[in-house]
Amino acid sequence: MRTRDWPIRSKLTALVVAPVTALLALWIFATTLTFGPALGLLSARTLLYDLGRPGEVVVTELQRERRLSVVQLAGTTRLPVLAEQRARTDRAVAELRRRVDGEALRDAADDPLEARIDHLVSALAALPAGRQFIDDRSLDRSGAIGLYSGMVTAAFQAFSAMATLDDPDLNRQALALTALGRSRELLGQSDALVTGALSAGRFAEGEHTQLVQAIGNQRWLTENAVADLPEAGRVAYQRLTEGEAFTRLRTMQDALVLANRSGRPPVDAAAWQASHDTVQQQLRDFELAEADGLTDRSVPMAVRILVRLAAAGVLGLVAVVVSVLVALRLGRTLVQRLSGVRTAALELAEHRLPDVVTRLRRGEQVDVAREAPPLEYGHDEIGEVGRAFTEVQRTAVQAAVDEVTLRRGLNEVFLNIARRSQSLVHRQLHLLDRMERRAEDPDELAELFQVDHLATRLRRHAEDLVILAGSAPGRGWRNPVAIVDLVRGAISEVEAYDRVDITATQPAGVLGRAVGDVIHLLAELVENATAFSPPDTRVTITGEQVANGYALEVTDQGLGMSAAALEAANTRLASSPEFDPAQSARLGLFVVARLAARHGVRVELRPSEQGGVIAVVLIPADLVTAEPPPGPDPATPVAASADPARRLARTARRGTVSRTRPPTASRAVTAPPAGAPTPGGVTVDAGSTVDEELDGLPRRVRRRTPVAQPRSTVTDTPAPRSPEEVRRVMAALQAGTARGRATVTTPPAPTTPAVPADRAAPAGTAGPATTPEPPTATERDA
């Protein structure tokens, strides 16, 4: 039995129940031991009146019938008085059987007494058969004496079993009375032998010896029995033996002892009979009187025992009840106090501390003293545990406050660094864009494109820091953007953009407020797909309208992920957990989870049939719109209203699905004659056309470098200025600074510069056979 894992309530209950149960068992045992003697004393009266008195009557009648039966056997005729005696004996036996069969006697008798009562009843059942033998003279005088003596002996054995009182004096007196009864029975046996010998005229063989033995045993039993009687009983018996009948009987017994064994008894029959009957009656009256006195003394004694038992029982029961109440009260108090400490601990661990951390992360102020109130549980050991736990609470809450403060500070540091990096990257992208516009050498332009692409990826990584710090990136769109442009923008932010295929996408658009985050989310998934798949494999992207929104699938052909890894990744993507620096190898999943949670986008990773992984992105229906028309708004000048969606990725590669355009959305201009330079200084082949915008995505095409023009020489010597001119310049500088500050306070929607004519792609270059080029800053800074 492992009690170590028991609840404290069970332990205290066991601790209380064990001693209380032992005390209760001891009280029951002591009560039973005391109650037994009282019941024995009270049952003595029942035994006396239901067994002792009827049994004594049966013994007396049997003794008389025995003497008459011996007289009949000594003579030759039947005695009429014997028949009358047999009737009186039968009535006495019937009364004894009625009393013996009663419930009162059976309840008061113990097992040994019941066995002797049964033996007595069985011996009396043989009386009719013995009478028949006597009537048929099948028995001699000795046999008849033995028949009746056996029945009388069975009665006295039952009387001896009654003497089982717990009081030593009363029990010794009861045994003495039983011994006096036995001595009186031996006197009766002597009477039967003498009467038979007187009737026959002489002793039969062996009768004299039996007579001598009976007289000797009778005197011995009488002497021992009288010695156990109380003082009053001995005095009364002594007075009884000094009577004339006792003296005369003793004299005749002495003469019989000395008589001839085969001659006639030397006593007068009438004198013997008179003396014997008188002594028998006196002895019987003495025994009955002493038995009544014994019963009368046992009842008050039993009452006193019961009174003491009741007092002890009540006091013991009160002690048990008080012990139980005290134990229960103390146990309940201990359980309540310990349960209070346990509840406080669980409340802190499961509710209060997480709530404090949550509130701290929301930016709320937390009072440590209020969140960790002192636990008052007294001044004992439990109270000390409560006070120690109070300190633990305060330390835990303070540690949570410090940790959240530290995390908030680290997030601010990360955010500050990320914002600085973003600013620098944006400036770098604008600088690259200007350099690309001025570049004339194709090789130099290609290298600028590569630097532009690296800067775009660097911007995305800087935005990762902003997202992990809990803030939002700075990029945003005012108008919806087509799905295909959004996917191309995501591809353009990946290093291995030339390995990504857009196989099929149904026309749709995404609201401008979610475009930047969805592009970033798709870029992270596409980059994972390219990074964890062999470099000679392709990554495909498909999109279609579904019932709950728009679903995009990014499929790679890599090694895939185990079922446990997929489950863990999906759990992280669905719950958007707090960023854990220990899981730095999974930054992409943290970023995707944050971005998805911000707009209600669902992301799930599934195993691919080809062995890789399929990343399913479900954009909710409230973010999905109809596909916007490509190109600038006709009502707005191109240079002033260039939509940021037009500045998304222009990475078109083999196998890329081109976006369909309505006939009115495309504006083609006729190319100048062959060999004639364009307004941007680009020479165009004969028969070609220049399209300002292909599928809404401008493209750069390498051109031959024009003839270098000599640059004009500019002198660096400043011209002198008048004070009025200096004042006008400073006033203009101050006005421009004020306008710039006002613009920063209320920033306008992001816009992109218009695509210059020299960046327009020739017609027909957007097909599958076009060689992909890296994206530029103009394509990335959206």
User: Does residue 118 have a pLDDT over 60?
Assistant: yes
Residue 232 in this model has a pLDDT that exceeds 60 = yes
Tell me the CA distances in angstroms from 156 to 19, 34, 129, 182, 604, one per residue in order: 49, 29, 22, 7, 104
- pLDDT of residue 489 exceeding 50, the answer is yes
Query: If you average pLDDT over residues 586-605, what whole number do you get?
Result: 86
Residue 746: is its pLDDT beyond 70? no
Residue 705 C-beta-side C-alpha neighbours within 13 Å: 11
In the chain, DSSP finds a helix count (H) and a strand count (E) of 22, 11
Please list the helix, strand and coil fractions of the chain in percent, rounded to the nearest 5, in that order.
65, 5, 30
- Comparing CA positions, the residue from 90, 81, 83 lying closest to residue 62 is 90
Query: What region does 127 belong to: left with phi over 0, alpha with psi -120 to 50, or beta?
Result: alpha
pLDDT digits (tens, 9 = 90+) for 380-437: 787 788 788 778 877 877 887 787 778 778 777 877 877 777 778 788 888 888 888 8
601: confidence class by pLDDT, cuts 50, 70, 90:
very high
Which of 150-164, 360-374, 731-745: highest mean pLDDT?
150-164
Token digits of residue 779: 């394509």
Res. 510 pLDDT band, cuts 50 70 90? very high
pLDDT at 719: 56
Closest to 16 in 3D by CA, of 220, 363, 322:
322
What mean pLDDT value characterizes the chain? 75
* Separation between Cα atoms, residue 100 and residue 52, nearest integer Å: 11
Helix pair angle (111-125, 80-100), 10° resolution: 150
- The model's pLDDT over 602-648, given as tens digits with 9 standing for 90+, comes to 999 999 888 889 999 999 999 999 988 875 433 233 333 333 333 34
Tokens of residue 555, six digits: 């499929």
Does the structure show a pLDDT above 70 at 745? no
pLDDT tier, 553 (very low <50, low <70, confident <90, very high otherwise): very high
* Structure letter (DSSP) for residue 722: -
CA distance 604 to 576: 13
pLDDT band at 697 (very low <50, low <70, confident <90, very high): very low
Q: Could you tell me the strand order of the sheet in which 761-762 lies?
A: 668-670, 689-691, 761-762
pLDDT tier for residue 30 given thresholds of 50, 70 and 90? confident
* Token pair of 395 as six digits: 């330390």
pLDDT digits (tens, 9 = 90+) for 184-231: 888 888 888 888 888 888 888 888 888 899 899 988 988 888 888 888
**CA-to-CA distance for 218 and 236, rounded, in angstroms?**
19
What's the start-to-end Cα distance of the chain, in Å? 72
Written as one string, the DSSP assignment of 568-614 is HHHHHHHH-PPP-GGGGGGHHHHHHHHHHHHHT-EEEEEE-TTSSEE
750 neighbors 475 (Cβ within 8 angstroms): yes
For 265, residues 6+ apart whose C-beta sits below 8 A from its C-beta are: 194, 197, 198, 203, 256, 259
Q: How far apart are CA 381 and CA 384, in angstroms?
A: 5
Query: Minimal CA–CA distance to 581: which of 403, 349, 444?
Result: 403
